[in-house]
Structure 1
């Protein structure tokens, strides 16, 4: 070997050690080390960049489905690198039959029946949150935000790159995730939670590093550690996205048309105050490119829930989540914050006609979200919407201010925690709206969780309070609507047409087994008083209810000669009004078996009783 080559190798090694503090540690079953890249990596689905030659390889992949902690059918190898702007991951998925790799085109965020590679990053390393970036061999991207350790938000979209290739050894994926898309606490040396999943679709096999255990709960809490991230910058992430829209309006005037131009402008702004606190703001936002809601035929008196897709509200949505009336038996997306209330369709549509606004205009909104070094998660949102007028300049929706404050504190490395939630709505009412809409609506809530016995068991709960104010006519309409039904006999409280305020409360208590062995269960008590109301900024289908729900499940995840996986569930629920009048009780049992030919066999039965009959 020539002296010049030896000198080049020595210089490269010295450069790597300068940034990492020494030789790069090899990967283990739960820890990996990232290599510092001296120049930006070219994303092409190849491992021919210099940094991939020096980055330690992650090879300790294990099967987790259908067999937990089994030997994988095919080998997988991954390497991680970084620089001042990006985190890079290269994954080689070995496959002796590349022509059998399943690759299909699909829309972004759509999970097709294909092979897949996915990286998961818990950049806060709080074992509660994180981000997922997935790709299939055809290059179709999917990304998710993880919150509360177990829940995934597929509406979250980040800016990142990936390239894939299918070759004689199998297929590869090379990821580039900008650090500006992640949230982390600035330190001299950072450690991220990190994991990689691989799906081999034709065998219905899933492998991971580190080993993921279906017998335990959680996603972020089961990730390994990515070390060696030295000297990460604190990106401010300034982003400005202005827009201008012009529209030609044609109004028939007799035998001719009166044409005029309408010009609209606005902007979205994002600024990273620190690497773990982000300020988002929008002025007169335009959501014209947001995917439309699906068509729904609703023949009930209860409102339909629609998923949030507007980018401003999707980012950091998990921070503001506070569920109400959600358990393992029944969950209908009810909660204290439903962002679709901001910019909603005018509530007094009977003042309008076919040419009236179908949505209220958002003057502006601002949001501060992030996580502090002491384990505190904060979220603050404020928005103002414009008055919407119908025919004869009658107000269909008044100028309204919305405020949300969410704070959480983790303890014991995320095993326990407590939080608060405050929401407020204030409307500028006039003669058209004061007898139909509430002037103000406030909600305050507290929640907690505590895991014990190696995290296999959990106790959690919440306590909520609500208060409405308005004219006696507006509060009377609230009492009579389907959420409350104060006029119902035997409700325990009576309809009062002279009320100008309405207060209520809600309580929830859960005890559950989350992991360990083959059994799982959850039992919960939930109660909402008749006056509890959160629909000004939240989503609630029914107040005046108390319930006891119990779920028990058996899980067999080890394949046998008869099946690959099997589940059996038992559900029992009982409902009363807040005053104790029986409403419903029922039980359900169901079973699911995946046969060795990948077919599923499922069945179940439900027995129920309404009232006391």
Structure 2
């Protein structure tokens, strides 16, 4: 039902209350719980939809869905929810203010809607109307709701000021000295919605103190940059507007944003987004450089026109300017869906870049993609060509000057009854060629998986590879076995063990790269001792040994223990302890002996997105010491007993909606 201000949904779910999975969790963290979700396609474009999900205790999760992309969980808006367990299941109530949505200003409105229910222990999803995976597309299968009259988002102006006080002590590595930094800072985010569809966001002096640290990943002995996702709210909201087949805008390239404005919206079948912001930490410069302290200017613009069924044509342009350097890029991309299962996509890009004190260089890039999505059979093929002169300073492009072709085929049998939900093989190939046509890398992999009830899965994978490194050919291989399960309400487990061979990409001085015996173990155990407490432990260990003498080249270990206690839906305490240790043989690898450990505490009182109190503390320790002398140096020590980055902060924000 609805009234002039709010859209209401109430859902009654029949179930055994002892089997229902429900916890008092932080907002958004209900992915392992049972939940009910409401989906709203307010523009009738069959491509975009809002999602509002609630677990049986009323904990919220919201997102924006875009066909062909992952759900955008960065979308946060103000709405209310309630939930409670009953003698025969649970019931939830959802109330969504119209001012929290964007929709056409027609006198009589028609929306497309769906309601879904997830039962975790059965790996079960149920929808009204009926939605199937036999055809491609989720949003196009919604049903219509007619007759929504006399509703409007109204005037929609949001002002979200914040104040933060922080004290920090950190090691300035270039200066080989410790510094103290105490500051009080005020900033503000503002949002204005025009014509019910166009949003203007502005930020001044944004602060990201409450953002969680990156998840642990192995970065040792990797040839190329490792991807860490963006977690800063100003950049994550509506980030789907800037997604294209090649990742040409990666907002973590903006290191220290100052002031900025973002425009996004949808008018008829046109969608667009624009961003202008400055970066206060654009590049490292030598001491005394006259350009030190200057800021980089950054601009991004995206527009796309939808046509047909889940198809579009779009343009993306990015620009980064600093002193006499610049990085400019223009790209055109599109997606065409045909039939119930098939789609093709492609992108062409051209860049022109000038580094500091260097002449400009130009280059091109192209990608073509073919997809088939179905209930049993999936196919994916990609071709990528990145020219030697191509550059995307604001994107995430690991390397240039190569051509790549990769394919993936999988088939899933789905038994009608029994403990096995689906099983089947997956085959994949990947080839990389240099500009001269010589093969650079090759990877062929075969995998077989079995999915069981209660989110349980077993898989085995074999990979055979070829790698040309420093003009020498290598033939590494690997076998990986993995298992995941959420069989019990109080325990979840996932683990992968990989063994085989790998190339030592960082050999010691005087040594050539060589192939050694490699292992990698990844284990995550999540405990729910009570409905309010979540304890997650992740351990990653990666080793490389010589094949001839079994000498250890390196041993890299990462451990994270993460605890979250939810006092109620608003108040939570999160504690994280990270520990990292890298031990390497200097006679075999050009790697430092490193030890790090970091405690991280965050107390959060979140009334709703934008109105919150955060109190946080972090203290990173490393095995580093400043060695005094005429020119101080940094040296490695045996133990990680030096605090190199310590901070205590308090942040208060309040959201006004007019």
Distance 1:392 1:537 in 2: 25
Q: Does 1:407 align with 2:303?
A: yes
How far apart are residue 182 of structure 1 and its match?
Answer: 1.8
Tell me by how many angstroms 1:236 deviates: 3.1
- State the TM-score, normalized to the length of structure 1: 0.70
SS in 2 for 1:312: helix
Query: Would the aligned equivalents of 1:528 and 1:578 in 2 still touch at CA under 8 Å?
Result: no
Tell me the residue number matched to 1:465.
350
1:383 aligns with 2:240: no
Partner residue of 1:267?
188
8 Å CA contact 1:511–1:524 kept in 2: the answer is: yes
The 1:112/1:440 distance shift into structure 2, 3 A limit, reads closer
Correspondence 1:87 to 2:30: no
The size of the alignment, in residue pairs, is 459
Change (3 A) 1:457 1:390: closer
Structure (1 or 2) with the larger CA radius of gyration: 1
- The equivalent of 1:398 in structure 2 is 294
Change (3 A) 1:595 1:283: closer
Moved over 6 A (4+): 248-251, 258-261, 387-393
Determine the C-alpha separation between the residues in 2 that align with 1:428 and 1:391: 15
Kindly state the Cα deviation for residue 564 of structure 1 after the two structures are TM-superposed: 2.1
- What secondary structure, in the 3-state scheme, does the structure 2 residue paired with 1:99 have? coil
Query: Among 420, 427, 442, which residue is 2:315 paired with?
Result: 420
- Specify the SS of the correspondent of 2:185: strand
Question: Which residue does the alignment assign to 1:278?
Answer: 199
**SS in structure 1 opposite 2:121?**
helix
Change over 3 Å in CA distance of 1:610–1:275 after alignment to 2: same
Deviation at 1:396, TM superposition (A): 5.3
Q: Structure 1 or 2: larger helix share?
A: 1
| Secondary structure of residue in 2 paired with 1:174 | strand
User: Using a 3 Å threshold, how does the CA distance of structure 1 residues 90 and 137 change in structure 2: closer, same or farther?
Assistant: same
RMSD, matched Cα: 2.7
* TM-superposition CA deviations, 1:118-175 (whole Å, max 9, x none): 1122222212112222121133322222123442122332222110011123211101
Q: Distance in 2 between matches of 1:224 and 1:181?
A: 22
Deviation of residue 249 (structure 1)?
8.4
Q: Which runs of 5+ in 2 are unaligned?
A: 171-178, 475-658
1:393/1:93 Cα in 2 relative to 1: closer, same or farther (>3 Å)? Answer: farther
1:110-259 equivalence runs, <5 A: 110-246=29-165
- Tell me the CA shift for residue 471 of structure 1: 4.5
CA displacement at 1:422 relative to structure 2: 0.5
1:416/1:205 Cα in 2 relative to 1: closer, same or farther (>3 Å)?
Answer: closer
Look up the SS of the partner of 1:100 in the other structure: coil
Could you give the per-residue CA deviations for residues 61-93 of structure 1, whole angstroms, max 9, x where no partner exists?
xxxxxxxxxxxxxxxxxxxx2223222111111
Counterparts of 1:47-66 in structure 2, within 5 Å, are none
For residue 430 of structure 2, what is the aligned residue in structure 1? 573
- 1:246 Cα shift? 4.5
1:511 aligns with 2:511: no
Shift of 1:319: 0.5
Structure 1 residue matching 2:364: 3-state secondary structure: strand
Give ranges in structure 1 of 5+ residues lacking alignment: 1-80, 252-257, 325-334, 345-359, 430-438, 476-499
Q: Deviations over 1:418-456 (max 9, x none)?
A: 000000111135xxxxxxxxx111000001111123x32
State the Cα distance separating 1:590 from its structure 2 match: 1.3
CA distance in 2, matches of 1:250, 1:381: 33
Q: Secondary structure at the match of 1:153?
A: coil
